[in-house]
Amino acid sequence: MSSVTGNSRALSDEEQRLTYALAKQVPSMLSGVTISTSYGDIHLQGSDAVLVMVLVRRILTAKLDALQEEF
């Protein structure tokens, strides 16, 4: 897990992954999104990509908030 020192602590691997995704990967979805399934890929552009980006940001933010509430 993570080490705790006073009020500051190191981020867990999952927190680091989510923080990176929210900072880098989610914003890059504005240029397009590819959803890979076992039956092939779905490519989304424009306003469709924006809708997916907003949803993914909500999901990842909720996961990060839940992890941080544990401490």
How confident is the model over 19-57, as pLDDT tens digits? 999 999 999 999 999 999 999 999 999 999 999 999 999
Domain coordinates of the chain in residue numbers?
Answer: 10-69
* Contact by Cβ (8 Å): 41, 34: yes
The whole-angstrom separation of Cα 15 and Cα 37 is: 26
The whole-angstrom separation of Cα 67 and Cα 12 is: 9
Compare 68 and 44 and report the one with higher pLDDT.
44
Q: Which of 44, 13, 14 is nearest to 29 (CA)?
A: 44
31 φ, ψ (degrees, to nearest 5): -85, -5
How confident is the model over 8-18, as pLDDT tens digits? 778 899 999 99
pLDDT band for 1, please (50, 70, 90 cuts): very low
Would you say the pTM of this structure is higher than 0.85?
Answer: no
Beta partners for 30? none
